[in-house]
Amino acid sequence: MAVESDFSQDGKKLTIKVKGRFDFGKHQEFREAYERQCPRPDSVVVDLKEATYLDSSALGMLLLLRDHVGGEESDIRVVHASPDVRKILAISNFEKLFDIS
């Protein structure tokens, strides 16, 4: 599985791991990773440790996730982004929407 999702025991925190190229090909899997669970998690961690590349449709997917878990009120952390991936996130100024580390 190129996209893995894992809920904390209390079901409040969702961790999504993306492996390989994070592009339109992951669209379906990425959506399923957070849409399956009901009720919605309080916080989401997107782990990009094994993501090699990220394109603009991946940015779109992050926006969809943000919208799904509450938009303005959402608590999403993007972690372990490689320097290349961080550069892409930085050009689009996504640190204004997500907690990127």
Partner 1 sequence: MPAEQALTVLVAEDGAADRLLLAQIVRRQGHEVFTAENGEQAVAMFIERRPQLVLLDALMPVMDGFEAARRIKALAGEALVPIIFLTSLNEEEGLVRCLEAGGDDFMAKPYSAVILAAKIRAMDRLRRLHATVLEQRDQITRHHHHLLNEQRVAKAVFDKVAHSGCLKAANIRYLQSPYALFNGDLLLAAFTPSGDMHVLLGDFTGHGLPAAVGAMPLAEVFYGMTAKGYGLAETLREMNAKLKRILPVDMFCCALLLSLSFQRGTVEVWNGGMPDGYRLSAEGEVLGMLCSHHLPLGVLAPEQFDDATQVLPLAVGERLFLLSDGVVDTGDAQERLFGVDRLRDVLADNRNPDLLFDEVMQALAVFGGQSRDDISLCDIRMSAPEELAPQPVVYSDSGRSSPLDWSLRFELRGQSLRRFNPVPYLVQLLQEIHGLRPSSGRLHSVLSELYSNALEHGVLAMDSRLKRDAQGFAQYYRQRAERLMHEVGGFVSIGLQVEPRGAGGRLMIEVRDSGAGFDVARELARTPEQQAFSGRGMGLVQRLAGQARWLEGGRLAQVDFEW
Q: Does 82 bind partner 1 (CB under 8 A)?
A: no
Helix axes 56-68, 27-35, angle to 10 degrees: 10
Order of strands, sheet of 43-47, starting from the edge strand that comes earlier in the sequence: 3-7, 13-18, 43-47, 76-79, 99-100
Residue from 61, 69, 81, 85 in contact with partner 1 (CB under 8 A): 61
Q: Tell me, rounded to whole angstroms, the distance of Cα 31 from its chain centroid.
A: 10
| Amino acid at position 90, single letter | A
> With CB under 8 A as the contact rule, which of the stretches 11-19, 33-41, 62-70, 75-83 interacts with partner 1?
62-70
Least distance to partner 1, CB of residue 55, Å? 8
**Phi and psi at residue 45, to the nearest 5°:** -115, 125
> With CB under 8 A as the contact rule, which of the stretches 3-11, 38-46, 64-72, 75-83 interacts with partner 1?
64-72
Q: Which residues bind partner 1 (CB under 8 A)?
A: 24, 53, 55-57, 59-61, 63-64, 67, 72, 84, 90-94, 96-97
